[in-house]
Amino acid sequence: MKTKKEISILIIYTGGTIGMVQDPETGSLVPIDFRHITDHVPELRKFGYDLHSVSFDPVKDSSNIDPEVWIRMAEIIEDSYNDFDGFVILHGTDTMAYTASAMSYMLENLGKPVILTGSQLPIGLLRTDGRENLITAIEIAAAIENDAPAVPEVCIYFDNKLTRGNRTTKMSAEHFDAFNSPNYPPLAEVGLHLKYYNQLICYPAKEKKLIVHKSFDTNVAILKLFPGINRKLVRAIIKTEGLRGLIIETFGSGNAPTYQWFLDDLNQFIDTGGIILNVTQCPGGSVEMGVYETSRQMMAAGVISGKDLTSEASVTKLMHLLGRYSSREKITESLNKSLAGEISQ
Ligand code: ASP
C-alpha cells in the first residue's frame, strides 16, 4: 500500500476558465499560465501527494481544442503513464465532454484515472467553483481501493459528481452544476465522504497493456432535424466533399420524416459508402429504431442506431472509428458495441 507521498499525480493544464483572469483593458476573460493556479490554490502545495504539472503553451480556450490537441494530451499520458498513479486534465467546460469522450476511445485498456475538470468561474475569483473541483479531482485521481486505482476511467469531475466522460454532456452555461450524465448514473458522489459506486465502474483486465489510438477522421457531420427542414440543406450536408460519416440527430426515440426525398438522399449516401448514425436529439433516453414507421425506413436503408449515445460521444466515436478502420464492416460492428462504456448494451 502506497503512502500519500508515494502517490504521484500529473496535472495537465490545457486552459479554460479555471485558469483565466480578466484582461484589465478589454474586460474579457483571457487565459494565463499555470502558475496562476497554484497561486490561488495554495492548498495544492500541501496536499501530501507527489504532484507534478505540465502546461500547454499557449493554453487554449476549449473552443479551440480539436483532434490534434486530443492526440497531444494522449501522448502526454502515454509518455508518462508508468511514472504516475493518476492524471488530472484541466480543461475548459465548453468542449470538455468531447475531449473526455475522445480520450476514452483513444486510451484502450486504461488502468489509471484520467479526471477532467474545470470551472464556471475563474479560480482567481472569491466565489470560484474551480478550487473545490480541482482539489477533489486530484483526490479522485489519487484514490486507491483494494490496492488498485479506484476509478481507472476517463471521467469528468464537476460540482460534487464524478461521471463517465463519454456519458457526460454540458447542460448549463450558468450553473455550477454544469454537467449531467443523463443515461448513466454517476460513478462517485461527493458529500462528507467520497462515495464510489464500484458496480458502475469499468475495470480493465490487469494483464492488458495501454494502447493509444491516435487517428481521427474529421470528415463527419451532424445534421440536426427540425420540422420544416428542406432538401437543399440536407443535400448540401450529404454532398459535402469527402464526407464519410453522418450523424442524424433525430426526434424522440430515433424518428425522422418519411419524405421520399429524405430517404432517397440517405440511401444514396449509404450506397456510395457513407455511414449514418442515428442519435436522438433528446437530452436523455435511447434510439429504438423500428418502433415507429418514421424510423423503420431509416433502419431499412442501413442507418445504424446510436442507442443512448450523447452527441459528444457519437461524433468523437465516429471520427475515431473512421480514423482507425477502413473496413465498413469493422466500423459498423464497433458502432454497434460499447468501446469504453459509452452505450448501454
Ligand atoms: N470558454 C471556456 C472554455 O471552454 C469556458 C470554460 O472554461 O468554462 O474554455
**Cβ count near 330 (within 10 Å):** 12
pLDDT of residue 34: 64
- Strands 188-190, 161-164: pairing is antiparallel
Measure the CA dihedral 189/193/197/203, to 10°.
100
Give the end of a domain, one of 180, 212, 244: 212
Shared domain check, 237 and 135: no
pLDDT of residue 90: 95
CA of 290 to the centre of ligand 1 (A): 39
> What are the pLDDT digits (tens) for 80-138?
999 999 999 999 999 999 999 999 999 999 999 999 999 999 887 789 899 999 999 99
Residue whose CB lies within 8 A of the most ligand 1 atoms, among 63, 129, 312, for a mutation test: 63
The atom of ligand 1 lying closest to the CA of 61 is 9
Shared domain check, 224 and 84: no
> What are the pLDDT digits (tens) for 243-289?
999 999 999 999 999 999 999 999 999 999 999 999 999 999 999 99
Q: Is residue 343 part of a domain?
A: no
Q: Which three cell numbers stand for residue 333?
A: 460492428
Residue 4 — very low, low, confident or very high, per pLDDT cuts 50/70/90? confident
The atom of ligand 1 lying closest to the CA of 95 is 4
pLDDT of residue 19: 81
Q: Which residues contact 321 (CB under 8 A, 6 or more apart)?
A: 330, 331, 334, 335
Shared domain check, 185 and 39: yes
Q: Is residue 345 part of a domain?
A: no
Instruction: Tell me which of 43 and 186 has the higher pLDDT.
Output: 186
Rounded to whole angstroms, what are the CA distances from 177 to 96, 171, 195, 302?
14, 8, 18, 38
pLDDT of residue 147: 87
Residue whose CB lies within 8 A of the most ligand 1 atoms, among 13, 17, 36, 116, for a mutation test: 17
Residue whose CB lies within 8 A of the most ligand 1 atoms, among 20, 36, 61, for a mutation test: 61
Which CATH number does the domain housing residue 124 bear?
3.40.50.1170
Q: What end-to-end distance do the CA atoms of the chain give, in Å?
A: 36
Helix locations, the chain, DSSP H: 35-40, 67-80, 96-106, 130-142, 231-238, 260-271, 293-301, 311-324, 328-335
**Cβ count near 3 (within 10 Å):** 9
Residue 115 near residue 89 (C-beta atoms within 8 A): yes
Shared domain check, 138 and 30: yes
Shared domain check, 263 and 122: no
Q: Supply the Cα-derived Rg of the chain in whole angstroms.
A: 21
Give the end of a domain, one of 177, 194, 212: 212
Residue 199 near residue 171 (C-beta atoms within 8 A): no
Shared domain check, 276 and 295: yes
Which CATH number does the domain housing residue 308 bear?
3.40.50.40
CA of 118 to the centre of ligand 1 (A): 8
Q: Is residue 344 part of a domain?
A: no
**Cβ count near 247 (within 10 Å):** 23
What's the whole-number mean pLDDT along residues 143-156? 94
Shared domain check, 233 and 183: no
Shared domain check, 225 and 315: yes
343 by Cβ neighbours in 10 Å (0-12 / 13-18 / 19+) ranks as buried
Instruction: Tell me which of 345 and 298 has the higher pLDDT.
Output: 298
d(CA 41, CA 39): 6
> What are the pLDDT digits (tens) for 26-47?
877 766 666 556 666 888 877 8
The residue nearest atom 3 of ligand 1, judged by CA position, is 92
**Cβ count near 111 (within 10 Å):** 17
Shared domain check, 235 and 300: yes
Give the end of a domain, one of 212, 237, 257: 212
The residue nearest atom 7 of ligand 1, judged by CA position, is 92
Q: Is residue 340 part of a domain?
A: no
Q: Whole-model pTM? A: 0.95
Ligand 1 is surrounded, with C-beta below 6 A, by 15-17, 61-63, 92-94, 118, 120
> Where in the sequence numbering do the catalytic residues fall?
17
CA of 94 to the centre of ligand 1 (A): 5
CA of 319 to the centre of ligand 1 (A): 23
Write out the residue range of the structural domain in which residue 30 sits: 4-212
Shared domain check, 326 and 197: no
Shared domain check, 289 and 232: yes
Residue 162 near residue 187 (C-beta atoms within 8 A): yes
The atom of ligand 1 lying closest to the CA of 96 is 4
CA of 96 to the centre of ligand 1 (A): 9
Identity at 288, one-letter amino acid code: E
Q: Is residue 302 part of a domain?
A: yes
**Cβ count near 269 (within 10 Å):** 23
